[in-house]
Amino acid sequence: MTGTAVEPLQQRRADLFGLGAVLCWSTVATAFKLSLEYFSPAQLVLFASLFSWLFLGGLLAWRGELTGLFSQFRQHWRISLLLGALNPTLYYLVLFQAYDQLPAQEAQALNYTWALTLSLLAVPLLGHRLRPIELIAALVCYSGVLVIATRGDLLGLQFDNLTGVLLALASTLIWALYWILNTRDTREPVASLFMNVSVGILLLLVYCALTGELSSLDWRGLWGAGYVGLFEMGLSFVFWLLAMKLTGSTARIANLIFISPLLSLVLISTILDEPILASTLVGLGLILTGLGLQRLGAPKPAAQTSSESSSKADRQ
């Protein structure tokens, strides 16, 4: 649905749902950082996933779609196990570790490279051909990563926190792999995510039990986990699904994600009191320029597989 004619009112509703998703994503980098003051990354993933599970389960119950989920799960348990291990389990464990080590402004900017990672990963895994414009986009994007990672010291190549940068980039690889594998999932999106999160919660409980993460909890982190679970892992997903379903132009809705990083930096500066570095602004500008170049020409099918997926470059 790249250019289907729709009623103006319907398109307005699509725009509002898209903006609602963008607003959700603009707040989560700040929420991640605040929550990690009380919870460890593993604890935050676990409790945020529980809140997401409750939200998605409630939505399915309201739609009258809970009754057939068990039989669906029995039929699709393998894909649920695979996707649930990637998201929420591994992806958010790695992402929150990155946020735990980096300033929020740097972690969220690096996370925007996931869309480019998706295109690059689609070459060996899906047999896609890499267009020349995508090679240029890769150079521009990753030059932005280098600016952020070195905090502008390109000649000295002194990395302030190389581990944190590598974790942030690894999270984009996991997320891109998740959405490539998701192209083979034929289930309804909300039901699919609910089943994946259900598996993820079980895996996270085992992980937290083995690592002793549940032995000491600062319950002040529960509010942040609830916010992350509702707005990052739940409501934004539904808003984006509705926006992409109602719109007559997926490109119009997808372009809304470029608003998110700017709003996110404002919140990071005002709420977290992080001074926004010039290197962050330059690096983020290069990353967004690279993503803009990537959108030129025919879009990749893998990047269109999910209405949530074009967000994430976006959400943090």
Tokens 């992350």 locate to 228
Q: 88: cis peptide before it, omega within 30°?
A: yes
Burial class (CB in 10 A: 0-12, 13-18, 19+), 231: buried
Task: For residue range 18-29, list pLDDT tens digits in order.
Answer: 999 999 999 999
pLDDT band at 67 (very low <50, low <70, confident <90, very high): confident
Can you say whether the dihedral through the CA atoms of 271, 34, 278, 92 is positive or negative?
Answer: negative
pTM: 0.89
The two three-digit tokens of residue 262, written as one number: 């700017």
% pLDDT > 70, the chain? 91
Task: For residue range 78-107, list pLDDT tens digits in order.
Answer: 999 999 999 999 999 999 999 999 999 999
Q: Which of 5-9, 55-59, 229-233 has the lowest mean pLDDT?
A: 5-9
Higher-confidence position of 215 and 167: 167
> What does pLDDT average to over the chain?
88
